[in-house]
Copies of this chain bind each other. A is one copy, B any other.
Amino acid sequence: MTDMMQRIVLARRPQGFPVEKDFRMEDIPMPTPEAGEVLVRVTYISLDPYMRGRMDYVKSYTAPQELDQTMGAGGVGEVLASRDPAFSEGDLVFGMFGWASHGCLPGKALRKLDPDLPPSTALGVLGMPGFTAWSGLAAYGDMKPGETLVVAAATGPVGSMVGQLAKQAGLHVVGVAGGPEKCAMATDTFGFDACIDHRAHSGALDMMETLHKECPKGVDVYFENVGGHVLGGVLPVMNLHGRIIICGMIAWYSGESDETGDMPLQKLWRVALVKRLTIQGLLQTDHVSRFGEFLAEVGPKVKAGEIAYLEDVAEGLENAPGAFFSMLKGGNKGKQVVKIA
């Protein structure tokens, strides 16, 4: 055990799209666990779109990221030293260690991992993103066989889980992704019925026409990850009593506006009334009491290869900011994680 550990802090709040100078890597003294605490060597860090929102100083569902403090993030790692009797050296655990090489947390803030699964799965397919997909559909999807579901960011960890769960529930599943390679991945790796390349569509009207073609019976469930012209294209194709589950809006995270973002609220209100839509904001923490149910249902499917997942692994803590920027631009293929040496 060295005397120092590494971490990355938020040096300043990004103006629009974040850049390297918004972050700073530091060496700090290795913490020593106090009574009830556990010291962990982090092996994988999770990078997720919600982190961009936390970098702004706005009241959201979580407090903003503090300046000059370790960037918040989930991670997995190996217990180095434990002063909580529930954990022993060598245990694999999940915890909110942040963008850091090590973390020291109370044992009750940690979750022990199933040693029969790769630890990084606890950050994606069997972690927060997978649970987001599962809990949103379970609570609000009201999926019926023969219906149609659309989800964007189709090869991301949330979108790919949404699509696979919907397929297994008997729905016609259409993804939206950026570029032909990701679209092929959505159909070949994740079993989507079709996947639309949003980069080949310049606006909402364009997108609507293709959606109309790929969803001949209309759209019953739209799982919203992106906003932008994908949303603009989906709205007119929604069926009576359709459900829109708002999980994210990555197209708008850095304050950009566009034709759909600027669509007057009045128009949405009319569509929602005429089609009697249900529009529902989703945050997985609201459903956390069902996390065990999720693991019991999806864990065995992952082990059996019945749920596929992809990970995009960046190497080295120092490369976390770059991997984060790339993910915000859709450069990742699958769940973005950072492997720590």
Contact = CB atoms under 8 A, between A and B. Distances in A.
Contacts of A60: 274
A322 to B, nearest CB: 27
Interface range, A side: 35 or more
A169 interface: no
A174 B330 CA distance: 46
Given A260-B265, A262-B266, A268-B265, A282 B276 contact: yes
Given A265-B260, A265-B265, A286 B276 contact: yes
Nearest to A258: B266
B272 A246 contact: yes
Interface string A260-279: 11111111111011111111
A312 B257 CA distance: 46
Does more than half of chain A's interface fall in helix, strand or loop, or is it mixed?
mixed
Copies in the complex: 2
A235 to B, nearest CB: 9
Nearest to A140: B278
Interface string A296-314: 0000000000000000000
Given A261-B265, A265-B260, A269-B227, A281 B286 contact: no
A239 interface: no
Contacts of A281: 272-278
B273 A249 contact: yes
Of A260, A266, A272, chain B has the most CB atoms within 10 Å of the CB of A266
Contact of A264 (B264, B272, B274): B264
A252 interface: yes
B276 A278 contact: no
A283 interface: yes
Nearest to A240: B61
26 contacts: A60-B274, A224-B269, A227-B269, A231-B265, A241-B286, A246-B269, A249-B269, A249-B273, A257-B264, A260-B265, A260-B266, A261-B264, A261-B266, A263-B265, A265-B265, A265-B267, A272-B279, A272-B281, A273-B281, A273-B282, A273-B283, A274-B281, A276-B282, A277-B280, A278-B279, A279-B279
Interface of A: 60-61, 224, 227, 231, 241, 246-249, 252, 257, 260-270, 272-283, 286
